[in-house]
A and B are shown apart, each in its own frame.
Chain A
């Protein structure tokens, strides 16, 4: 009796299970197919519902806190390495001999660079997301002062006498000079667009500041980026060198003799139809040789080879004997070693006509690149030991410092910083994001066009139908997880679709991501990319009077004459908080003749101040131009009735918009590092 009852229950359960399983599986299949735009993605619920979860508890469980070493400095006698652990908001003090982490000193948010004074007493750490510099007493291993800076302090340089600190403000695009005796700001210079790297010449007279974004210009104009030259003794900008057809000039180094300065750079092909990857058709990477003499030339040389690209050059250091330059190629996990004498002889013998072709010649690198040294994931900052015998490499996504013998040019060791051993799904996603292994011949990675997971400020000819049509302004990836659909035309409903098969067909042109990797990169994009605080326009969450007036205009329902504005022509209708997008498509009257007939995905507006140019094809250089030049028919919100002051207020308000996490600090999400 009992057995038969059990059997009956079991049988019912089995039948119910079958009844649920087959239709359930069918529904699940349909759901996954819709989300991924393919029909064979594994039916794995955790792909979406766990790895991309923003629930604080789940996020804490599945993620881990990494250090992510970024930049470094070394003590004068070489017995200490100072490592900026960017995601741990820490300066780590490391003994390079024993490989031990001796100290972890808490600094500000998202530290960028560190410099040590000549006496080895103080370290200065720029905190890019705090708008300040931490002053650290190295004997006490303690922050003893905090110096206020411009927005997004990044590269640092001390004057030769250690009395002045030059701070490159990457967000406000200027350079702050701080008198270290008083701690007061002495001067501020305008620099290039999104400057970061800086280096003082060996004679202590000239300071160079590199910039990452190109200067804003209409699509079709030659790309130009600024290299700012500062006379250190007078603290004046003496020259703004224009580096043509290049951008993302991350860092710079001088030869010890001071005859050359060498910058890392990227030469994009955004004006060329993106119809192929072969033959350097999308991106090339190189160095800029800045001759330090009267009428000195700036000569660009590629680091790439005809069938191999050395993506995302980041840092550069030059050996004390001036013979070798070491360049970290973050996107391909290697260090390129350049023989500087070969560069000297190459450029000495070249006519101006020939020099010009070097910058587009993939074969020329064989004359000066003498070695490619493999490193761990995402090599960033470099520093040489004082005797030049060791090169230390910050392997950002490895939580390690690689050690390279500069004579044998072999990696001889790794210093483990003690980060988590396990590689979480999102961390794997970040590694993929920063690595060009999933692009044909490693020509570019996600990070190349989305530096800092943001956007590079360029408009690309994506050649989606015909060449020369459908120009595309690169969009930021910050906090986009909750703002589907994606792409300007909103054609991709999910990140899975965005980065799936079609992505590999039209962009990377190599084998698509495996589904495990697609899950990983999606998890990272959805959960791991955050906005920096908007300290420039909204540091405290308290709007200025102008911004408040602008907010009223943004939310208004009547125009200046008191007439009701149709609901679909009010700013707030299509751009409601918290992301300031209604996630819908719209027509705003900015379709170009060269565009196919499409509507536009309503973009999110947080931190919009940091994303010029504007509109889908980048035609508006400023927010104001959206209405003054390209909104004359009032199709992009009614704005033509506004006075100039009102428009200023509206723009002020737009610039104040910031991520929801900063608006609701009490409900701040668990902020794992990735």
Chain B
């Protein structure tokens, strides 16, 4: 009797186990191997880099999934409940997707995350203002562009980061630029399209910065007048690919490749021999690319395979005569970028900037101004000067600047005449320490190994009209 009871109990336990395994395996269907893309009907209107309209805010767009191995299968609509949805980004484990979307026509654009196993969607972050172009950061955080209409800094979209649950929102860019279409490099830095808006509009460039907003620097500058358009993608063989147009249509252009190792001087136009217009690319593990392409005859963009080595278009992966197909991403696991440590300390109210020699100009740089002999620099803020600072005899200067404040530097000779500049906008994060070699053109120059006079003394506080920045005590490393 007891034996029977024991056997029965055992059987029951096994049955419950199998039942659990069965149902847990049916919890959701993996979308691995699928391709997710944005599609929309009609032409994109001429865009505006400041507002992003309508280039980053395409009306009535949908995010859909296709199975490239089974073209006969119907397209799966993923964002049916939204008025418009764009910019999918797949998590490193391919288990979820970030995107930006409007629920209703006049709603602000917000950041959403979809669980790709069960298709459940949650809003990551709630704002009254538009939030777009989300991207996963390592360490459970995300990055996105957000426009701040109350902004006094004359910026367009600034970059923000927050946790995946929307908490710990941090703004990370602080200059009068606008930032779009960011992605994360394998080295852990953010690469983003950036365009100066004040005091004058300049051509967009690619900037890199650490996810905490420190160490922002130029990554790539296109041909004069060119427009950078797509999200930047890094291939498995060390190339960075994106689209660039020599017009301002914002709807497509050429496919450009630069080397990660030397992005400023390795530009290759992969599609110069192909007529038509290219949209955002996505690197496949095979080494080939998925790319949106519209031939001169076609009305809409379709999704193609592209061989970057042969610079040739391959087969059509997906096409729909009624829709433009953009922003394709493969649902596959990919390497997580490095999670960079942060030097930012919000207990500190300033950052330090050291310039080794403001008079240094690289003789290899054609556009170098003639030999400079500046004795001072002026630090310029958005609306006013932040002070004039004497430079040491060796050309070095060492500043302590209030954090998260944009400034530019121009060099001045002893008679007060401006010699060079002002340069680009800089900001320092709290406790950031940053160095530059000089006010030179070529960013490939490293510092000379020498002891600079300026660092033998305390830094000059900027703005100069305040004598001290209240800081907390920093513990010695």
B92 in contact (CB, < 8 A): no
B contact residues around A334 at 8 Å (CB): none
A122 in contact (CB, < 8 A): no
B contact residues around A284 at 8 Å (CB): 446
A576 in contact (CB, < 8 A): no
A573 in contact (CB, < 8 A): no
A contact residues around B338 at 8 Å (CB): 510-511
CB-contact partner of B449 in A223, A361, A362, A470, under 8 A? A223
B300 in contact (CB, < 8 A): no
A contact residues around B442 at 8 Å (CB): 361, 363
Asked whether A272 and B447 contact (CB < 8 A) given A366-B265, A510-B340, the answer is: yes
B contact residues around A470 at 8 Å (CB): 476
Contact A362 B446 (CB under 8 A): yes
Selecting from A85-93, A500-508, A600-608, the interface stretch reads A500-508
A143 in contact (CB, < 8 A): no
Contact A281 B447 (CB under 8 A): yes
Q: How far is the CB of A211 from chain B (nearest CB, A)?
A: 17
Contact B341 A279 (CB under 8 A): no
B contact residues around A441 at 8 Å (CB): 187
List residues of A (16-36) whose CB comes within 8 Å of B's CBs.
none
Contact B354 A306 (CB under 8 A): no
Q: How far is the CB of A44 from chain B (nearest CB, A)?
A: 22
What is the 8 Å Cβ interface bit string for chain A, positions 494-531, against chain B (1 contact, 0 not)? 00000001101110011110000000000000000000
A106 in contact (CB, < 8 A): no
Selecting from A167-175, A263-271, A396-404, A555-563, the interface stretch reads A263-271
List residues of B (327-359) whose CB comes within 8 Å of A's CBs.
338-343, 352, 354, 356
Asked whether A510 and B187 contact (CB < 8 A) given A275-B352, A466-B352, the answer is: yes
Contact A245 B261 (CB under 8 A): no
Contact B215 A278 (CB under 8 A): yes
B148 in contact (CB, < 8 A): no
Contact B447 A269 (CB under 8 A): yes
Contact A278 B217 (CB under 8 A): yes
A contact residues around B447 at 8 Å (CB): 269, 272, 279-281, 360
Contact A275 B433 (CB under 8 A): yes
Selecting from B33-41, B56-64, B318-326, B455-463, the interface stretch reads B455-463
Q: CA–CA, A303 to B397, complex, Å?
A: 30
Q: How far is the CB of B271 from chain A (nearest CB, A)?
A: 23
B72 in contact (CB, < 8 A): no
A413 in contact (CB, < 8 A): no
Q: How far is the CB of B334 from chain A (nearest CB, A)?
A: 16
Q: CA–CA, A273 to B342, complex, Å?
A: 18
A598 in contact (CB, < 8 A): yes
Contact B444 A362 (CB under 8 A): yes
Q: CA–CA, A503 to B264, complex, Å?
A: 31
Interface of A: prevailing SS = loop
B451 in contact (CB, < 8 A): yes
Contact A308 B446 (CB under 8 A): no
Asked whether A489 and B450 contact (CB < 8 A) given A273-B433, A357-B364, A510-B340, the answer is: no
Contact A512 B341 (CB under 8 A): yes
Contact B262 A305 (CB under 8 A): yes
Contact A273 B435 (CB under 8 A): yes
Nearest residue in A to B477 (C-beta to C-beta)? A464
Q: How far is the CB of A215 from chain B (nearest CB, A)?
A: 15
B contact residues around A281 at 8 Å (CB): 435, 446-447
A contact residues around B459 at 8 Å (CB): 466-467
Contact B354 A273 (CB under 8 A): yes
What is the 8 Å Cβ interface bit string for chain A, positions 211-227, against chain B (1 contact, 0 not)? 00000000110110000
Q: How far is the CB of A284 from chain B (nearest CB, A)?
A: 6
Contact A361 B433 (CB under 8 A): no
Q: How far is the CB of A249 from chain B (nearest CB, A)?
A: 15
Q: CA–CA, A468 to B452, complex, Å?
A: 9
Q: How far is the CB of A267 from chain B (nearest CB, A)?
A: 7
Nearest residue in B to A278 (C-beta to C-beta)? B215
B448 in contact (CB, < 8 A): yes
Most chain B beta-carbon neighbours within 10 Å: one of A284, A307, A465, A596: A307
Contact A219 B451 (CB under 8 A): yes
CB-contact partner of A596 in B343, B362, B443, B476, under 8 A? B476
A440 in contact (CB, < 8 A): yes
List B residues at the A interface (Cβ < 8 Å): 138, 187-188, 215, 217, 260-266, 338-343, 352, 354, 356, 362-364, 398, 433-437, 442-452, 455-459, 474, 476-477
Known: A270-B449, A468-B455. 12 other contacts (CB 8 A): A269-B447, A273-B455, A302-B446, A306-B261, A357-B445, A464-B477, A466-B455, A467-B459, A468-B456, A470-B476, A510-B338, A511-B138
Can you sample 8 A-B contacts with CB below 8 Å?
A245-B448, A275-B434, A302-B446, A307-B263, A467-B352, A467-B459, A510-B340, A596-B476
